[in-house]
A and B are shown apart, each in its own frame.
Chain A
Amino acid sequence: MSALSTWLNESHIQYVNAVDDWQAALVARPLLNDGTITADYVANIIKQRQAVCPYFVIAPRIAMPHARPEEGANKLGLSLLKLRDSVSFGSQENDPVDVIVMFAAPDKNSHVELISTLAEFLSDDNVMDKVFKAQSQPELSKIVNDFN
């Protein structure tokens, strides 16, 4: 299994004090900037959220927004955003959210390794405790780099 830092390098980890609303928290600049996703990808996530429900708020405080490959994912990618001030996604159980992990996969198979590594990361209470407490980008980078 590859290290999480393979996908989550320095430029894909952000620490932001506050955002206006949940849509603003989805603007995952790193993935847009490097061409991993198109602007449509984000629009599709917002559309799905409004049509169905905030299904991508996967656990207390954690959102993992993603759409389908054909909805604007050019390649495999992952970004992590930690907010100082949490934001509401309208999730009955898991609001408010302060950790947003966005991922994109270009097809149904190439993300197997990424997802299994990410699942290990998100399911590790000790690691996530550090992520929740982190107060800067370098702190977050260190947590990701230390996770193997």
Chain B
Amino acid sequence: MKIMAVCGAGLGSSFMMEMNIKKVLKNLNISANVEHSDLGSVTPDAADVFVMGRDIAYSTNLPESKLIVVNSIIDIKELEAKISDYFQKK
């Protein structure tokens, strides 16, 4: 399982999200690879699931089934709820 945090520039907000996702996975006791990337260079096969802010999700062409969209990239609680949801549905 590979999770990709995505933002516009690929080094600031996505990196922050990567760290928060790792924290959340630890809490949920899920093991997965987490990386970060910029929107421009990300391809649908780069990961199993992509996490990004809502603003950016509007302009992506990644399949919707592979997206986890968050309102706040720094809200650990929101991130945890959405990631836990995703893994339960799988």
Q: Which residue of A lies closest to B40 (CB)?
A: A52
A interface residues (Cβ-Cβ under 8 A, vs B)? 48, 52-60, 62, 64, 66-69, 91-94, 103, 105, 108, 111-112, 115-116, 118-119, 122-123
30 A–B contacts, CB within 8 A, in A order: A52-B8, A53-B8, A53-B59, A55-B13, A55-B39, A55-B53, A56-B9, A56-B12, A56-B13, A57-B55, A58-B16, A58-B73, A58-B74, A59-B72, A59-B74, A60-B71, A64-B12, A64-B16, A66-B13, A68-B38, A69-B11, A91-B55, A115-B16, A115-B19, A119-B20, A122-B16, A122-B74, A123-B20, A123-B74, A123-B76
Question: How far, in whole Å, are A103 and B13 apart by their CA atoms in the complex?
Answer: 10
User: Are B12 and A115 in contact (CB-based, < 8 A)?
Assistant: yes
Question: How far, in whole Å, are A71 and B15 apart by their CA atoms in the complex?
Answer: 18
